[in-house]
C-alpha cells in the first residue's frame, strides 16, 4: 500500500492534485508503519517490566513481614502500660486533708 501511493506520486497524469498528495500519503503511511514497529515491542516490554516490578514488590513485602516477626521474637516483651492507666491519680488520704 505504501509503495502504491509512492508510485502514484511519481506518476504524471491529468489528475495533478491527486498525484501530488499521494506521495505525502505514502510518506504518512511509512511513518505510521515505523511508529507501530517501534511502539508494539515497547508496549510489550512495558507490560513485562510492570509485572516483574509487581512481583518484586510482593516478595519484598513478604520479606519485610518475616523480618518484622523475627525482630519481634528476639526482642523481649516489655510490660505494657496504657497512658490512661499511668495518669490515674492516687487516692488522697482524707485524714491528712481534714483539719
Query: pLDDT digit string (tens) for 19-32?
Result: 667 777 778 888 89
Residue 37 has pLDDT above 80, yes or no: yes
On whether the pTM is more than 0.85, the answer is: no
CB-count exposure of residue 32 (10 Å: 0-12, 13-18, 19+): exposed
Amino acid at each position: 500500500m505504501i509503495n502504491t501511493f509512492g508510485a502514484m506520486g511519481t506518476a504524471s497524469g491529468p489528475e495533478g492534485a491527486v498525484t501530488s498528495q499521494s506521495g505525502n500519503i505514502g510518506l504518512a503511511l511509512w511513518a505510521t508503519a515505523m511508529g507501530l514497529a517501534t511502539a508494539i515491542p515497547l508496549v510489550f516490554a512495558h507490560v513485562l517490566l510492570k509485572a516483574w516490578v509487581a512481583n518484586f514488590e510482593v516478595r519484598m513485602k513478604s520479606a519485610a513481614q518475616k523480618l518484622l516477626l523475627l525482630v519481634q521474637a528476639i526482642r523481649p516483651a516489655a510490660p505494657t502500660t496504657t497512658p490512661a492507666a499511668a495518669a490515674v491519680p492516687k487516692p488522697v488520704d482524707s485524714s491528712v486533708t481534714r483539719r
